[in-house]
Amino acid sequence: MDAVTVYASGALCQRRVVVDGAPDGVSRVRVGGLPLAADAGSLRARAVSPGVGVTDVRRELRAEPQAPERLAALKQDVDA
Protein backbone atom coordinates (compact mmCIF):
# COMPACT_ATOMS: atom_id res chain seq x y z
CA MET A 1 0.00 0.00 0.00
CA ASP A 2 1.50 3.29 -1.07
CA ALA A 3 -1.04 5.74 0.38
CA VAL A 4 -4.49 5.78 1.99
CA THR A 5 -6.89 8.71 2.19
CA VAL A 6 -9.97 8.16 4.37
CA TYR A 7 -13.27 9.88 3.59
CA ALA A 8 -16.64 9.74 5.37
CA SER A 9 -18.03 7.56 2.56
CA GLY A 10 -15.01 5.30 2.01
CA ALA A 11 -11.30 5.41 1.34
CA LEU A 12 -8.86 5.87 -1.52
CA CYS A 13 -6.13 3.22 -1.33
CA GLN A 14 -3.18 3.60 -3.69
CA ARG A 15 -0.74 0.87 -4.63
CA ARG A 16 2.35 1.44 -6.72
CA VAL A 17 3.57 -1.26 -9.08
CA VAL A 18 6.77 -1.11 -11.12
CA VAL A 19 6.57 -3.03 -14.40
CA ASP A 20 9.55 -3.96 -16.55
CA GLY A 21 8.74 -3.58 -20.23
CA ALA A 22 7.95 -6.74 -22.17
CA PRO A 23 9.77 -7.35 -25.49
CA ASP A 24 6.54 -6.95 -27.47
CA GLY A 25 5.57 -3.84 -25.51
CA VAL A 26 2.59 -5.52 -23.81
CA SER A 27 2.55 -6.37 -20.10
CA ARG A 28 -0.12 -7.95 -17.96
CA VAL A 29 -0.07 -6.84 -14.33
CA ARG A 30 -1.85 -8.59 -11.48
CA VAL A 31 -2.22 -6.84 -8.15
CA GLY A 32 -3.22 -9.25 -5.40
CA GLY A 33 -4.41 -8.76 -1.88
CA LEU A 34 -7.46 -6.65 -2.67
CA PRO A 35 -10.37 -7.10 -0.25
CA LEU A 36 -13.21 -9.32 -1.48
CA ALA A 37 -15.59 -6.43 -0.85
CA ALA A 38 -13.74 -4.16 -3.32
CA ASP A 39 -16.24 -2.76 -5.83
CA ALA A 40 -15.08 -3.74 -9.33
CA GLY A 41 -16.44 -0.44 -10.65
CA SER A 42 -14.18 1.52 -8.31
CA LEU A 43 -10.88 0.04 -9.51
CA ARG A 44 -8.66 2.41 -11.49
CA ALA A 45 -5.18 2.23 -12.98
CA ARG A 46 -2.88 4.72 -14.63
CA ALA A 47 0.57 4.73 -16.15
CA VAL A 48 2.95 7.58 -15.41
CA SER A 49 5.65 6.90 -18.02
CA PRO A 50 5.46 8.72 -21.37
CA GLY A 51 4.10 6.54 -24.16
CA VAL A 52 2.66 3.96 -21.76
CA GLY A 53 -1.07 3.43 -21.27
CA VAL A 54 -3.56 1.23 -19.48
CA THR A 55 -6.11 -0.55 -21.67
CA ASP A 56 -8.11 -2.60 -19.17
CA VAL A 57 -8.75 -2.96 -15.44
CA ARG A 58 -10.75 -5.87 -14.09
CA ARG A 59 -11.32 -7.74 -10.87
CA GLU A 60 -10.87 -11.50 -10.84
CA LEU A 61 -11.70 -13.71 -7.89
CA ARG A 62 -9.36 -16.66 -7.52
CA ALA A 63 -9.59 -19.57 -5.12
CA GLU A 64 -6.37 -21.25 -4.07
CA PRO A 65 -6.40 -25.06 -4.15
CA GLN A 66 -6.44 -26.65 -0.70
CA ALA A 67 -4.86 -29.88 0.48
CA PRO A 68 -7.39 -32.73 0.92
CA GLU A 69 -6.88 -32.84 4.71
CA ARG A 70 -7.52 -29.08 4.91
CA LEU A 71 -10.74 -29.52 2.90
CA ALA A 72 -11.92 -32.23 5.29
CA ALA A 73 -11.33 -29.92 8.27
CA LEU A 74 -13.19 -27.07 6.56
CA LYS A 75 -16.12 -29.37 5.74
CA GLN A 76 -16.31 -30.44 9.39
CA ASP A 77 -16.45 -26.78 10.44
CA VAL A 78 -19.30 -26.09 8.01
CA ASP A 79 -21.26 -29.19 9.07
CA ALA A 80 -20.88 -28.40 12.80
Question: CA–CA separation, 76 vs 47, rounded Å?
Answer: 47
- φ and ψ at residue 13, rounded to 5 degrees: -110, 125
Residues near 19 by Cβ (< 8 Å), separated by ≥ 6? 27, 29
Please write down the HEC assignment for all residues of the chain: CCEEEEECCEEEEECCCCCCCCCCCCCCCCCCCCCCCCCHHHCCCCCCCCCCCCCCCCCCCCCCCCCHHHHHHHHHHHHC
Q: What is the pLDDT of residue 53?
A: 85
Q: What pTM was computed for the model?
A: 0.57
Q: 8-56: per-residue pLDDT in tens? A: 988 888 888 888 877 777 888 888 888 888 888 888 988 888 888 888 8
| pLDDT at residue 7 tops 90 | yes
Q: What is the pLDDT of residue 33?
A: 83
